[in-house]
């Protein structure tokens, strides 16, 4: 028994924020951002759009491609670091909006690795025979937790959502292997310190800019390249696949230099790497499913292809998964 991806969808808010726009907000330059990150522009959600709104658009597209009726979904997992609210879960709000009455629904917190964690969790349920059809979504409104006065972070992130419908299948196609990792010792490298139970909302915490992302970018960068290379090899080894057999690498789109370093270590030519970091920046848990959806709709994925996903994020969390399309 395997888990097959039978539908994908994505949604990007209309508003585009360019590097030039950021030059007007913080002490930065268009060329610094492009050279150090590969990002030219990112999307910013409308002030009325929350994570569930973006998620619903992506979910509807993925359901349409899958041909599945929403009422036949058994489970909905939303991976997000920017839920609509503490509770109820964003997944329950999505469930209501799409009318998936039979489904259980919950959110999953693994920051930028969230979609891979959701894929792996859903894969366990499906392979164990518990559920037949699962909707997984990565949805983020990062613009709400960005400190627009901090040039170290505000140039990096963007908003968006991506979704995939998974179905139990027999045979060769589907998730061949997935591997997740966490190292909580490094939790402080990327964090939103305020707004939770440790530092609850107060005028002082707002004045100290605590409800916004803080990141030690350079340290994170080094750990990311090392751990992603290890995770990718682990997944390939478990599936007895050589890097040269891969059809497409679909990496988390955090920074072009991280993506290039991992591709280079795998010996993969760049035409086998899906890239959209230039247009959307780092959309956290949404980045892999958006890139997957663009690859599928753009005709870059054919039946039988071997796709490798890899992601890295706060926690620290990281992982990889291999899928036969
Ligand atoms: O997806 C979740 C995981 N997150 C990541 O994967 C992010 C990983 N990290 C990165 O992508 C990179 O570390 C950054 C893009 C965040 C930064 O690039 P870097 O090459 O590691 O630069 P740095 O942090 O070492 O900073 C170099 C210099 C510093 O100036 P000094 O101290 O050398 O004078 C920064 O203050 O660049 C400065 N700097 C900027 N300059 C212009 C930092 N941000 C900016 C900016 N514009 N926006």
Distances (CA, A) of 56 to 2, 63, 99, 135, 321: 26, 10, 11, 11, 25
CB-ligand 1 contact for 247 (6 Å cutoff): no
**Average pLDDT score over residue span 298-317:** 97
- Distance of alpha carbon 162 from alpha carbon 283, whole angstroms: 10
pLDDT confidence tier of residue 111, bands split at 50, 70 and 90 = very high
Annotation marks residue 92 as catalytic: no
- Contact, 276 vs 194, CB < 8 A? no
pLDDT confidence tier of residue 119, bands split at 50, 70 and 90 = very high
Give the pLDDT score at 56: 98
| Number of the ligand 1 atom closest to the C-alpha atom of 224 | 6
- Distance of alpha carbon 325 from alpha carbon 301, whole angstroms: 8
Q: How many helices (H) and strands (E) does the chain have?
A: 11, 13
Query: CA dihedral defined by 254, 260, 261, 266, rounded to 10 degrees?
Result: 120
> What value does the mean pLDDT of the chain take?
97
Helices (H), the chain: 19-23, 30-37, 51-66, 90-98, 114-127, 151-154, 203-207, 217-238, 256-266, 277-280, 287-297
The CA-based angle 168-171-176, given to 5 degrees, is 75
The answer to whether the predicted template modeling score (pTM) of the entire model surpasses 0.85 is yes
Q: Which of 112, 154, 173, 276 is catalytic?
A: 112
| Number of the ligand 1 atom closest to the C-alpha atom of 284 | 1
- Distance of alpha carbon 159 from alpha carbon 168, whole angstroms: 31
Give the pLDDT score at 267: 94
CB-ligand 1 contact for 220 (6 Å cutoff): yes
**Average pLDDT score over residue span 106-123:** 98
Q: Name the CA radius of gyration of the chain, rounded.
A: 19
- Residue 286 falls in which region: left (phi positive, over 0), alpha (psi -120 to 50) or beta: alpha
* Cis, bond preceding 88 (omega within 30 deg of 0): yes
Q: How far is the CA of 217 from the centre of ligand 1 (A)?
A: 6
Give the pLDDT score at 183: 97
Give the pLDDT score at 325: 98
pLDDT confidence tier of residue 309, bands split at 50, 70 and 90 = very high
Phi then psi dihedrals of residue 163, to 5 deg: -140, 155
**Average pLDDT score over residue span 179-190:** 97
CA atoms within 13 A on the CB side of 36: 15
- 246-288 pLDDT, tens digit per residue, is 999 999 999 999 999 999 999 999 999 999 999 999 999 999 9
Q: Any idea which fold 176-324 has?
A: Peroxisomal Thiolase; Chain A, domain 1 (3.40.47)
**Average pLDDT score over residue span 149-157:** 97
Q: Of all helices (H) and strands (E), which one includes residue 245? A: none
Annotation marks residue 252 as catalytic: yes
Q: Cite the residue boundaries of each domain of the chain with CATH code 3.40.47.10.
A: 2-171, 176-324
**Average pLDDT score over residue span 40-69:** 98
Annotation marks residue 112 as catalytic: yes
- 225-239 pLDDT, tens digit per residue, is 999 999 999 999 999
Give the pLDDT score at 4: 98
- Contact, 89 vs 186, CB < 8 A? no
The number of beta carbons lying within 10 Å of the beta carbon of residue 253 is 29
One of 1.20.1260.10, 3.40.50.150, 3.40.47.10, 1.10.3720.10 is the CATH number of 2-171, namely: 3.40.47.10
Q: Which of 19, 252, 255, 276 is catalytic?
A: 252
């Amino acid at each position: 028994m395997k888990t097959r991806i039978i539908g994908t969808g994505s949604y990007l808010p209309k508003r585009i924020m360019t590097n030039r726009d950021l030059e007007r907000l913080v002490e930065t330059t268009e060329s610094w951002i492009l050279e150090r990150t590969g990002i030219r522009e990112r999307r910013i959600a409308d002030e009325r759009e929350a994570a569930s709104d973006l998620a619903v658009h992506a979910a509807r597209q993925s359901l349409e491609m899958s041909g599945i009726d929403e009422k036949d979904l058994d489970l909905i997992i939303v991976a997000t670091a920017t839920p609509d609210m503490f509770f109820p879960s964003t997944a329950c709000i999505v469930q209501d909006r799409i009318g998936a009455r039979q489904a259980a629904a919950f959110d999953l917190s693994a920051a930028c690795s969230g979609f891979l964690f959701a894929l792996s969790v859903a894969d366990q349920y499906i392979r164990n025979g518990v559920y037949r059809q699962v909707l997984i979504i990565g949805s983020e409104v990062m613009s709400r937790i960005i400190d627009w006065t901090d040039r170290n972070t505000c140039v990096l992130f963007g908003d968006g959502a991506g979704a995939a419908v998974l179905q139990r299948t027999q045979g060769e196609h589907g998730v061949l292997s997935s591997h997740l990792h966490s190292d909580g010792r490094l939790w402080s490298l990327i964090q939103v310190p305020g707004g939770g139970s440790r530092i609850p909302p107060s005028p002082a915490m707002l004045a100290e800019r605590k409800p916004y992302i803080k990141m030690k970018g350079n340290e994170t960068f080094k750990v990311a390249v090392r751990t992603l290379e290890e995770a990718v090899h682990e997944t390939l080894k478990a599936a007895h696949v050589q890097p040269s057999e891969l059809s497409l690498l679909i990496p988390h789109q955090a920074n072009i230099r991280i993506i290039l370093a991992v591709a280079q270590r795998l010996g993969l030519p760049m035409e086998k790497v899906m890239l959209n970091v230039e247009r959307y920046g780092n959309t956290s848990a949404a980045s892999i499913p958006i890139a997957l959806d663009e690859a599928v709709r753009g005709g870059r994925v054919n039946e039988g292809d071997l796709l490798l996903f890899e992601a890295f994020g706060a926690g620290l969390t990281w992982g990889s998964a291999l899928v036969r399309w």
